[in-house]
Amino acid sequence: MYTRNLNKPLKIESSFFLFGPRGTGKTTWLRNNIPDSLYFDLLDSNIYMDLLARPERLEEMIVSPGNHWIVIDEIQRIPMLLNEVHRLIENRRLKFVLTGSSARKLRHGGVNLLAGRALTFNMYPLTAEELGKDFNIDFSLTYGHLPSVYSGVDPSEYLASYVATYLREEVLQEGLTRNIGAFSRFMEIASFSQGSALNYSEVARESGIDRKTVMNYFSILEDLLLAFTLPVFSKRAKRRLMNQKKFYFFDSGVYRAIRPSGPLDAPEEIRGIALETLCYQELRAVNDYYRLGYSLHYWRTATGVEVDFVLYGPLGLIAIEVKHSKKISSKNLSGLKTFINDYPEALGLIIYMGEREEIRNGIRIIPASIAIPSFRKILSNNNNE
């Protein structure tokens, strides 16, 4: 059992949403931190059918709540239930926690999102900081940070089952697509876009699916919180830049489970993309959990000069390059040097698989095993000294 860094909701008294992909630990966190809550699990078929037929039954089911929290798990399964929640917040001053592993129906259904009366928080896979002494960079690159891969189960079997479960339960049951085979094939092809600028036409050609459907499928992945896109940093741009977003599945282990591999695949390339993915998921989680206020981007010029991650916010400007190598050459510094030439106020970092920390041409070079567990300190104390 790991202590999670999601602690902000425990300090508030108002209702809140808690979003995150399945398997990130939302339910466990709630049961540990709000153990005396009234709990409604919409994955329970009996509760689901009762409230689907008559959402107003929710009030009948809430007997003498006192000052207890009321948890509704997987709220996206009955979006119209939010109208009842809204009414009960207004009329009875009840406190709700509304969890979801999909934002699609809530965003696209035109439902009542409580008119700002509920805050929104997110749950991510475990962070290296949360794992503490159990953090192992090689294990993380292979299996990622979903809590269950650290629970004693076979991590390979769990991740394979996890991907199949998402396809079956989230995509098929929610009716997001009628062709589950095409969507499954698309997911495999999409895995080759991991850490790359999105090219919808290329994915459509490789998967044999029309471009419009492919664009919709990418949207489904984001709505299910399975994937995210990273925009180009273009503030005060001095060069012509690419405009495509970069694509990532949300966890390095899930990416590895989805991506097909064989004798023609280069293991170092896959591990390199997994390292970039791991850095991205950690940066997102740390930035969100500690409310650091950075917006996350990447940077790529029209001539192909690229920096993997650019973080911009009230605490400063940070440019990060990720290299799956044990040595850093002068060529590896070129992208950051170009970026810092345009943005001299930026802190430049290289994260790599070596063991030595150093500063070269004003750029900090840090081993991944040290940098990733230290992201909160790095992001919080950004300076150019």
Note the pLDDT tens digit of each residue in 121-145.
999 999 999 999 999 999 999 999 9
User: Looking at residue 385, what is its pLDDT?
Assistant: 43
pLDDT in tens, 312-347: 999 999 999 999 999 999 899 999 999 999 999 999
* CA nearest to 228, candidates 175, 272, 285, 307: 285
- Measure Cα distances from 227 to 194, 273, 313, 326 in Å: 10, 15, 23, 29
Q: Look over the chain and give the mean of its residue pLDDT values, rounded to a whole number.
A: 89
- Measure Cα distances from 201 to 204, 212, 213, 244 in Å: 5, 9, 11, 12
Looking at per-residue pLDDT, the higher value among 60 and 68 belongs to 60
Return the minimum-mean-pLDDT range out of 12-26, 229-243, 367-381: 12-26
User: Looking at residue 177, what is its pLDDT?
Assistant: 67
Mean pLDDT in residue range 85-96: 88
pLDDT over 90, % of the chain: 64
User: Looking at residue 384, what is its pLDDT?
Assistant: 47
168-174, Cβ contacts within 8 angstroms, sequence gap of 24 or more: 169/22, 170/22, 170/101, 170/102, 170/224, 171/220, 171/224, 174/102, 174/104, 174/105
Q: Where in the chain is the domain with CATH 3.40.1350?
A: 282-380
φ and ψ at 39, to 5 degrees? -120, 125
φ and ψ at 320, to 5 degrees? -125, 130
Confidence (pTM): 0.91
pLDDT over 70, % of the chain: 91
Provide the 3-class DSSP secondary structure of residue 306. Answer: strand
Mean pLDDT in residue range 228-250: 94
Residue 110 has pLDDT above 60, yes or no: no
- pLDDT-based confidence at residue 300 (cuts at 50, 70, 90): very high
Looking at per-residue pLDDT, the higher value among 69 and 281 belongs to 281
- pLDDT-based confidence at residue 90 (cuts at 50, 70, 90): confident
Q: Where does 282-380 sit in CATH, by number?
A: 3.40.1350
Return the minimum-mean-pLDDT range out of 85-94, 159-168, 259-268, 283-292: 259-268
Looking at per-residue pLDDT, the higher value among 274 and 153 belongs to 274
Give the single-character DSSP code of 70.
E
Q: Where does 8-122 sit in CATH, by number?
A: 3.40.50.300
User: Looking at residue 113, what is its pLDDT?
Assistant: 58
- pLDDT-based confidence at residue 269 (cuts at 50, 70, 90): confident
User: Looking at residue 264, what is its pLDDT?
Assistant: 60
Residue 383 has pLDDT above 60, yes or no: no
- pLDDT-based confidence at residue 104 (cuts at 50, 70, 90): low
Return the minimum-mean-pLDDT range out of 72-76, 173-177, 232-236, 342-346: 173-177
